[in-house]
Structure 1
Amino acid sequence: MAPFRYHKAIEVSPGQTYDVVSWGRGSTDAGAFAILHSDSAKIKYTTTTGDLDGAITDVYNADMDNDGNPEILIQAKAKDTVNYARIYGFEFNNNSVNKLDFPKLTSSQRKGYRGGDNFYIKEGKLIREFPIYSSNDSLAKPGGAKRQLEYSLRNNNFAVKQISKDSTDTVTVTPKNSETSSTSEHKTSSSTKKKKSGSRKKHHRRRR
């Protein structure tokens, strides 16, 4: 079994790249993830790690609160049957990284929920949609309607609202990659090396 199950590189600006990887030998349902930040202008490299429980399905980059600091959002398919999809979010600001707590579905939002989540970024917001089931029977099929939720970010706190009545008229975006990750804790480390300068503009980097 290969040690690395998932990799996606996100360049938020010239010289500022975030590589997201997951790994773990001997299990397909547990392991760890890392967000590797490369600041090629300053020759600085930092790492944010966390525990995995499941598989990463996609990773998104946004600046949802318009503060100039990038957020990296990891979408994972969890093993539990209450919250099939989870988002693990981090905001990077110069030398620091902040973990963002993504809210669980409320009882009303979860009504008829059986997974099948589709996430995408639209106009600086994170949109979540999923099919609605009419019963909790394991043999039940979705009724054709979907629920859409919109997540915004302010002061590093998520807010969520339903943006439409349950409807069949929704957007479908298929995740590009598939592999899991779930995160309980994270820690950040960094390694620095001197260089004569070179790359372009400095943007964000994490705590050492």
Structure 2
Amino acid sequence: MKRYLLFVPLLCAIIAGCGNNEKPVVKSAPVTQSKTMEPFRFHKLVEVSPGQYYDVVSWGRASVDTGAFLILHSDSLGRKYTTTTGDLDGAIVDVFNTDMDADGNPEIIIQAKSSDTTKYVNIYAFEFNNNHANEIRFPSLKSSKSNYRGQDNFYIQEGKLIREFPSYTGEGKDAKPTGGKYKFEYTLSGNDFDIKTLVKDSTLKDTPVAKEPAPVKKKETVKKKATQKKRRRR
């Protein structure tokens, strides 16, 4: 009798469970991005073509603003592996791959956020010819430098490097955005960057160049020779 009494509640629980068609809600675990192991801070893999891989890594201990970068080139088909390294100022923001001069040699471009509040960005560019890395110096801003306060946006468009940033007016902490922007296009010619201005801040008025007054030409005075008139004989 006691066994029967114990069996009845258990049977009711099983029946109730079978009658419930709702499935238990399973909570999904939050996806966490894997962190780069110390002393490495940044890693990005760039596959240029089948078998051609470039691992870009930044590393350094006890400092955030300075360090070094590594470009590890893996030629898996030829089984050749080379390393390109350099000093790094700032933290890497992104890495780009393109072929700006269309010569078949890829360029790896590293964008780093500079700790320098007048420069704001550092670009490290290399062109790879087989296993040889050729560094390309990135040019500094000239005419638009006074309106530059960082916030760069770099991207690749039709094989060319595009740079955009908002325009500011004023000095130091008093600088305010004008609402306009600058946009530049970078191409490669030999071992140098060529810059083309695509968009200029239209809110800024161009300061007219003061024309120097034309020099006044002095009138040359022509001295006439005094001629004596001959007297007629009477």
Q: Structure 2 length normalisation: TM-score?
A: 0.68
Aligned equivalents of 2:78, 2:168: Cα separation in 1: 51
4+ runs deviating over 6 angstroms: none
1:182 alignment counterpart: none
Give the C-alpha shift of residue 34 in structure 1: 0.2
Q: 2:105 corresponds to which letter in structure 1?
A: N
8 Å CA contact 1:64, 1:125 repeated in 2: yes
1:71 to 92, 104, 107: 107
State how 1:9-158 maps to structure 2 within 5 Å.
Answer: 9-106=45-142, 108-158=143-193
Q: 1:141 corresponds to which letter in structure 2?
A: K
| SS at 2:144 equivalent | helix
Q: 2:188 corresponds to which letter in structure 1?
A: L
Deviations 1:140-172 (A, max 9, x none): 33222110011110112101121123259xxxx
Gaps of 5+ in 2: 1-36, 204-234
Aligned equivalents of 1:164, 1:147: Cα separation in 2: 5
Deviations 1:155-200 (A, max 9, x none): 12101121123259xxxxxxxxxxxxxxxxxxxxxxxxxxxxxxxx
Which of the pair has the greater relative contact order for Cα pairs under 8 Å at 6+ separation? 1
| Greater share of residues in helix | 2
8 Å CA contact 2:181, 2:199 repeated in 1: no
Q: CA RMSD in A?
A: 1.5
8 Å CA contact 1:147, 1:167 repeated in 2: no
Deviations 1:80-101 (A, max 9, x none): 1221112110000013110001
Give the C-alpha shift of residue 121 in structure 1: 0.7
Number of aligned residue pairs? 167
Q: Using a 3 Å threshold, how does the CA distance of structure 1 residues 22 and 68 change in structure 2: closer, same or farther?
A: same
Q: 2:61 corresponds to which letter in structure 1?
A: R
Aligned equivalents of 1:159, 1:82: Cα separation in 2: 22
| SS at 1:111 equivalent | helix
Q: 2:77 corresponds to which letter in structure 1?
A: A
Identity %: 65
Aligned equivalents of 1:8, 1:151: Cα separation in 2: 23
| SS at 1:138 equivalent | helix
| Greater share of residues in strand | 1
